[in-house]
Each structure stands twice: as structure tokens, then as C-alpha cells.
Chain A
């Protein structure tokens, strides 16, 4: 049990729509990262937030954006959805006490039709 929760579990959207995915942890860790995992692939780093500010970004376009709130929960927003955005979206918190060990939530499965 990682204590990291994500909502919703599954989501179906139409191409061109916008989506918001949410992540929270029981202990309120101040570093949260988001990853995209396409079917049969390893997760790809989208971006990371540390104390409410973006702290690193992977090779994803600006229509992928995020927020981190004072309670350290986080949102991933994707605008103008494309079919290739269909994937499992994972958030992870970093336990600073363990030199950067990351614990993942169960993910949100997004299907774009």
C-alpha cells in the first residue's frame, strides 16, 4: 500500500476534449511526478512538481500541464486530446528520506476515441 491515490480510475474522452487527472498521497510528500505509459511500453516522464512549482519536464507538448496544491496533491491537465494520448497515467511521490525512492499510485486509464 503506497498511500498514493489517483482519480478517476478509468476515463473515456473524445478527441479534442480536455481532461483533468488527480493525484494525492496520505503523507503529503512535497515532490510529485507524472508519467505516461502507453501499452507495452515503459512509463515516460511528463513533469515533476516540487513545492508547487514545476521542477523538470520531459518531451511532452505544452498542452500537457500540471498543478500542485499547498496540501501537495496534484493535477495533470491535457488539452486538445489526441488519439495517441490514450495511455495509463501514473503519478509518483518521492520520499526524500530514501534518497529519491519513488512510490506510484494505481494510475488512471485514459481512452481517447
Chain B
């Protein structure tokens, strides 16, 4: 059974800092790894998808890496902005497109 853990649970940083969010998973037989952003009370916005054959993906100030052998993924956010404040969730996809989520990291970027 896949289990996904995210550390830290909450993080507060000043504007402009670079930061790393961590995600670990127990079953290396994942199909892909997806990072999401969730604003309070809202749905999930897909940020990056890393396929199992890839090691990283980049979109703007975001970079996500995947190391299946160690069961880890990281989301790097460069030059953080107050608008980045949200909860970030990672999820691994097994068969039948089922996503297994972590509990998320709540990020606050302060002025």
C-alpha cells in the first residue's frame, strides 16, 4: 500500500527566499508523481507532473525532482512571493490513475 509523507507540515518564509518542499513515498512502483497547489477551501491546481522515467520537471520558478530509488520528490520554489502562499500537495499515481496524496505542506510567504 502506497503511503506518502510530506515534510514540513507548515513553513513560513520571507518574500524572496528560495525554498524546498519534501515528499517521500513508500512504493517505488509509482507511475508518475504530481505536485498540486491548493488555496483555502478551493480545488487542486496541477503544478508539475513527473513521469516515472523522468528525473525532473520545470515550470517558471518551480522545479520538481523525482528519485524513485530513494522514494523521494522535492519541489523547489525560487524567489518566493506572497502569492505563493497556499498548501502544496504531492501525489503518486499507481495503476488505474489512482492518486495517493500526502497531507500537504502549508506555505506562508511574508512581506
Please give the residue numbers on chain A whose beta carbons come within 8 Å of chain B beta carbons, in ascending order. 2, 4, 6, 31, 33, 35, 40-45, 48, 55-56, 58, 88, 90, 92, 94, 98-107, 109
Contact = CB atoms under 8 A, between A and B. Distances in A.
A41 to B, nearest CB: 6
Contacts, number: 73
B49 A41 contact: no
B89 to A, nearest CB: 6
B99 A43 contact: yes
B34 A42 contact: no
Nearest to B46: A103
B98 A56 contact: yes
B43 A90 contact: yes
B103 A102 contact: no
Interface string B88-105: 010101011111111110
Contact of A31 (B4, B32, B97, B99): B97
* Chain A contact residues: helix, strand, loop or mixed: strand
A98 B51 CA distance: 9
Contacts of A58: 98
8 contacts: A33-B97, A41-B103, A42-B103, A43-B44, A56-B97, A99-B32, A104-B44, A104-B46
Interface of B: 4, 31-32, 34, 36, 41-46, 49, 51, 89, 91, 93, 95-104
A61 to B, nearest CB: 18
A63 to B, nearest CB: 20
Contacts of B101: 42-44
Given A41-B103, A42-B104, A106 B97 contact: no
